[in-house]
C-alpha cells in the first residue's frame, strides 16, 4: 500500500470527505489530493497529523516510500470499528 493509498483508505474508512479531513488535520485540499494520488509525499510530521486526526496510531515505517505505516495491533481501531486484516 502506498502513502496515498494509506491516507485514502483511512479517510474513506472514517466516511470523511477530503475537505473534512483537511479541516480536521489543518492541511490544504490541494496537498491532500496530491498525497492521495501519490504525486507528492507528505513529510513524516504531516502524515502523522493526518493519521492522528483520523484516530489512527502506529509507527512510521521509513524503510521506503511504499512502506508507510506499521500498525500497532493493540490499538488498530478507528471510530471503535476494528480494521480488517
Q: For the chain, what's the residue count?
A: 85
pTM of the model: 0.67
- CA of 16: how far to CAs of 9, 11, 51, 64, 72, in Å? 10, 5, 13, 27, 23
CA angle 60, 52, 8 (to 5 degrees): 75
Please answer whether residues 44 and 58 qualify as being in contact, where contact means their C-beta atoms are separated by less than 8 angstroms. Answer: no
**Domain boundaries, given as residue ranges, for the chain:** 3-82
- Cell (9 digits) for 69: 505505516
CATH class of 3-82: mainly alpha
Supply the pLDDT for residue 31. 96
Tens of pLDDT, residues 20-79: 999 999 999 999 999 999 999 888 888 888 888 888 876 555 444 434 444 443 333 444
Please answer whether residues 50 and 60 qualify as being in contact, where contact means their C-beta atoms are separated by less than 8 angstroms. Answer: no
Amino acid at each position: 500500500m502506498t502513502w496515498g493509498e494509506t491516507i485514502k483508505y483511512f479517510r474513506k474508512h472514517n466516511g470523511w470527505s477530503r475537505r473534512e479531513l483537511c479541516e480536521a488535520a489543518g492541511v490544504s485540499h490541494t496537498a491532500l489530493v496530491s498525497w492521495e494520488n501519490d504525486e507528492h509525499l507528505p513529510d513524516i510530521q504531516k502524515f502523522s497529523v493526518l493519521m492522528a486526526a483520523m484516530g489512527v496510531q502506529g509507527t512510521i515505517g521509513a524503510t521506503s516510500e511504499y512502506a508507510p505505516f506499521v500498525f500497532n495491533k493493540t490499538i488498530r481501531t478507528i471510530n471503535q470499528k476494528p480494521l480488517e486484516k
